[in-house]
Chain A
Amino acid sequence: MDIQTEVLIVGGGATGVGIARDLSLRGIPSILIEKGDLTSGASGRNHGLLHSGGRYAVSDPEAARECISENRILKRIASHCIEETDGLFISLPEDSVHFRDRFLRACEETGIPTTLLSQEEALALEPELNPDLLSVVKVPDGAINPFELVLENARDAEKHGAKCILHTEVTSFLVDRDKIKGALAKDLINGEEYLIHAPYLVNATGAWANQFLKLAYLHIDLALSKGTMLITNQRLNHRVINRCRPSSDGDIIVPNDTVSILGTTSVRSEEVENFEVTPSEVSLLIKETAKMVPAIQGTRLIRAYAGIRPLFQSEEKGEDREISRGFTLIDHEKRDGLQNLITITGGKLVTYRLMAEKTSDLICQKMGIDVPCSTHLKPLPGVNESPKLKDRLKKIGHPVSAEGGEILCDCELIRREEVEELLKEEKLKDLQDILHRTRLAKGTCQGGFCIYRLLGVLHDLKMMEKDSNKILKGFFEERWKGIRPVLWGTSLKEEELIESIYKGIFDL
C-alpha cells in the first residue's frame, strides 16, 4: 500500500496539527504522522500557560511580541480551550524593584498591557498570595488546555481534507540526489509498513528533531531542556502567578480547571525521553513557589511530570534560559541542499499557530503558489459548542440512570455513557489515546479506580480480550513515574490503598 499526498508532516504536537490545519484551509492536502498519540511530547507536557509575553519581555523582546500577538488571536479562535485568567507578576521583598521597573518598560515596548497593583489590591484579588509582597503587575496571561487545543486543530484539519495517522513512525527515506522521494512508515501497533510519497516534508517533531533528521544524515544545534512541574490537588489561585525577577526555578503557578500547576525547572538533558522527576526537584519547586503562595506548603500534590523543551541555538550559550524561546524555521534546501525538507522547532505552545503559518507560507513559496493564511481569522470548530455553565450544572445534578449513568471516575465525575460515546466516535488504538481525550485518570486518585473500570467497560463492549491485566499493569507503571516523587501525607495513604488493591486483592 503506497500513499500519495502533497505534504507529509511528521509530529503530532501543536505545531504539526497546526500546520495540517493551516494547509488544509489553504486547500493543500497533507498527511500527519505521529509515532505516539497527539500531544505525546511537549504539547502535552507543559503547564498550560497562555503566555502574555511578560515572561520574555525583558530577556527576549521578539518572543514577547510573538506571544502577545498570538495570545490575542488564540483568545478569538480557541476561546473554548482558554480561561482568560490574567496573570500577576509579584515582587517579594528580596526581589529587586529595578527589575520590576525594567519589566514594566519592556512590556510597554513590546506592547503588553500592564496594570500596577498595590499590595492591598493584589491581596484582595488573590487572598492566598504572600502578604509580604511589595507590588504586583497585572498582565493578560491565561490558562490553556493544550489537549483540547491540539485535538481541535486535528479535527478541523481532517474535516478539511488532512489525515492524521497515529502510532506510526517514519523509519527511513528514499532519497534521490537532492530530494526525498518518499518516506517508509511503520504502524507501531500492527507492524504494517508502507511508503508515503510527498513532494514536501515537514519535520515538526519538536525535541525529536535530530532523531528524525538523522534519517537524512542531517543535524541541527538543539539543546534539550527538561522542565519539571507539579500538580496540586486543588486550585489555589484565580490568576497565573509569576515571580517578577529574571527567570529561574519555581517562578510560576498556573491555575488550570480545578488544579494549580507549579513550575518549573530547567535542566539540560541529553535524552529526549527523560521524564524522571526526583524528590529533590519536587522539594525545590515547593520551596520556591511557596514563597509566592505560602499555602502550597502543606497542600496535597497529585502528580509530578516533566517535559522536554527543544531550544534552538544559533550560537553556543551556557545558560538554557538565555537561549531564545522563539521558534526556528529551517529550509533544508538553503541550509543543506535538500530541496523538499523543512524543520520547524523551538517556540512556545502559545505561538504554535504562528509557527504553522510561517511553515505553510514557506511551503506555498516552494510550491510557487500564493494562498494567504486564514487560521488567525477562522475559529476552531468547537468555539461555539463549548458547554455553558448551565449544561455543566445539569451534568452534576444529572439523575443517575441504572445502566450507563454510573460514574466511572469519582474524582472528575465522568459517566460511563460519556466514555462509551467517545469509544464509538473515534478510532482509538491504546489506553493513552483514551486518556488524552477524557479527564479519566486526571483527578486526585490519578486513575487508581477508573482505569480498572475503563478496562471493564472495554470488555463489556467486546473491544478488549485477554491482555487487560498487562495493560492495567502498564498503566500503573506509567502512573508511578508521576506520583512516586510526591508520595507523603495523604498521597502516601492513598498509595497504600492502591497497592493493597492491585498487588493485594488482585495479585497483579
Chain B
Amino acid sequence: MTKIMHYDLIIIGMGLSGLMAAKTAAEAGQKVIIIGKGMGSLCLFSNTIDVLGKLPLTMKMEPLREASGVDTKVRRGEHPVPEGQFTHGQVSGPLGTGMSDGLSQWMKDHPKHPYSKVGLDRIKEALSSFTSLFPPPYSFQTVGNGNCLIPTGAGTLRPTYFIPITMVAGTSLKKEDALIVGFKGFKDFYADYVADQMDCRGITLSLSEAFRQEITTTALARLMERESFRETIGRAIKEKIHGETRVGLPALLGVRESWKVKKELEEIIGSEVFEIPTLPPSIPGLRIFNRYKEWLIQRGVTFLLGCSVSRATLKGKKCEGVDVSTPPIFNSYSADRYILATGRFIGGGLVADEEKIFEPIFNLPVTQPKSREDWFRKSFFDDLSHPVHQAGILTDSSFRAIDEKGEVLLENVWVAGSILADHHSVDEKSREGIEIATGYMAAKQALGKIGA
C-alpha cells in the first residue's frame, strides 16, 4: 500500500490558473500541493497579460505606417525615462478606467462568462495579487488606461494589457524610430518579415561560427544571460543602427534577470530595447512560471511537476483522493478540497474523441456543440469564434461544477481556468486574465473566504 498524503487543498494543473490558486491558498496559510503534468500554456503563449483585448482602445493609436508624428499624445521615447520608473500611463489601481469600464460592459453583455462569475472587484484583487509577485525591476506595466498595442513576430500590432518592462519600449512606435533585429540561423523570428509589415528597418545578425548547434529560443535566451554574448550582440547592433531610437528583438532577453539584459544592451547600443513575442516557447511566460514556482516553494507549497493525476476517488458528492501514477511515481493524495485547473485540449483538461468531448479526471459533464459537424466553422479566420472553444465545464457562481439542472456535482471540487465553459479566450484576448481571476476566485471560494 502506498502512503496517502493529506493536504488542505490539492490543485490539479500547473498553468497560470493553478499557480494563481496555489498562491491564493498559500497566502491564507493552507497546506497546499500543486500537481502538474507540464508547465501549462503559460510557457507556450503567455508573453503578456491579456485581460480583454477586444476592448475598444481608449488611447487612440494609429497603425505604424500612418503615424505622422504630429500627434500630441505622449509617446514613449520623447521623454526618456530612467530604468524602473515608467511613469507615463501608469495608473494607481490595478485596472485603468478604460479597462474597468470595458470589463463592466462586457460582464453585462456576457452574464455566463467566467469574468461575470468573478465580478469586477475580485478581478481587480486577483490582478493586483499577480502584479505584486513582480516588483521592479522586472515588473508588469500598463500603458494608458486601457489596452496597449505591442508588435508581434508577424509584424502585427496586438492589443494586450499588462506588459513586462522588457516590452514597454515597443508600444506606440513610430516607424522611423524602430530597428528590428533578428539572428541568422534562428528559425522562429524573422526581422525583415516584421520590419516589412511595420514599414521600418530590419537587420539579421550573424552569430559566431562557434554555434554549430541548432539555435533555439531557449538556447538564445540562456546565451543572452552571458555578458560576453550581450556585448557582441550589442556592438553588432550599434554598428548597424542609423539613428533609430528603439531596437526590437525577439522575446528572449534572458530567462533570468532580463531587465538587466535589456539595460546593458541599451547602454551599449544607446537606444531603448524591447522584446517582440514570437512562436512558442515563450520565454516571458517561462519567467512568470519560474517566479510563481520560486514563490510557492518558498511558502512551503508542495510542487509536483511532471506528474499527472490518473484517477480521482469519488464517494457520493465528494472527492476523497487522487492517484498520481507517472512512473516512477505512484502515489495517492487526499485533501479536504480540490481545484481542477487542467486547461483545455493542449493541457489534457479536455479530451475529444471522434464523437464527443469529455473531462478525463472527474468525468464532469462538458457542455459542447451537438455533433462534431458543429465544432468548427468553415472558415478558419471566421469573424465568429469556433463553437468548440465555448465548450467546457459549467459551474455555479462559486466555481463548482454543475449539471444541466444547476445541481452541484461535487461539493469539494472547484474548477478554474480555461477549462471553464462560455469564453473564447483566444478571440477575446482574455487568456491570462481569465486564468488569474478564476484561479484566484476558485481558491477563495474553496477556502470559504467568500460568502460561505
Taking Cβ atoms with an 8 Å cutoff, the residues of A that contact B are 278-280, 283, 286, 399-408, 416, 449, 452-453, 455-457, 459-460, 462, 464-466, 468-469, 472-473, 476-477, 479-480, 484, 487-489, 492-493, 495-497, 499-508
Contact = CB atoms under 8 A, between A and B. Distances in A.
Contact of A406 (B53, B214, B373, B388): B214
A496 B156 contact: no
A303 to B, nearest CB: 14
30 contacts: A278-B373, A402-B184, A402-B209, A402-B211, A403-B185, A405-B185, A408-B187, A453-B188, A453-B190, A455-B193, A456-B192, A456-B193, A460-B192, A462-B192, A465-B196, A468-B193, A469-B197, A472-B154, A480-B380, A484-B380, A488-B352, A489-B353, A492-B345, A492-B352, A501-B279, A505-B45, A506-B152, A506-B153, A506-B154, A507-B152
B426 A503 contact: yes
B45 A453 contact: no
A476 B381 CA distance: 8
Closest 10 CB pairs of A and B: A456-B190, A480-B380, A459-B192, A506-B154, A507-B158, A459-B193, A402-B211, A488-B352, A402-B185, A406-B187
Interface in B194-209: 196-197, 202, 204, 206-209
B187 A416 contact: yes
B183 to A, nearest CB: 9
A500 B426 contact: yes
Interface in B1-53: 41, 44-45, 47, 53
Interface of B: 41, 44-45, 47, 53, 152-159, 184-190, 192-193, 196-197, 202, 204, 206-209, 211-215, 277-280, 344-346, 351-354, 371-373, 375-376, 378-381, 386, 388, 426-427, 429, 431
Contacts of A479: 380
Given A465-B196, A488-B352, A503-B427, A403 B280 contact: no
Which of A286, A464, A496 has the most C-beta atoms of chain B within 10 angstroms of its own C-beta?
A496
A118 B379 CA distance: 49
B345 A452 contact: no
A497 B202 CA distance: 28
A487 B388 CA distance: 11
Contacts of A401: 185, 212
Contact of A504 (B185, B373, B426): B426
B184 to A, nearest CB: 5
A281 to B, nearest CB: 11
Contacts of B378: 484
A487 B375 contact: yes
Contact of A400 (B153, B186, B214, B344): B214
A265 B405 CA distance: 43
Given A453-B187, A505-B277, 7 more contacts: A455-B190, A487-B352, A487-B376, A497-B280, A499-B426, A500-B41, A504-B431
B277 A407 contact: no
A260 to B, nearest CB: 18
A464 to B, nearest CB: 7
A445 to B, nearest CB: 12
A407 B213 CA distance: 11
B197 A508 contact: no
Residue from the set B47, B426, B429 with the largest chain A CB neighbour count within 10 Å: B426
A137 to B, nearest CB: 32
A157 B156 CA distance: 44
A278 B376 CA distance: 12
Contacts of A506: 152-154, 156, 158
A504 B380 CA distance: 13
Contacts of A505: 45, 47, 152-153, 158, 277-280
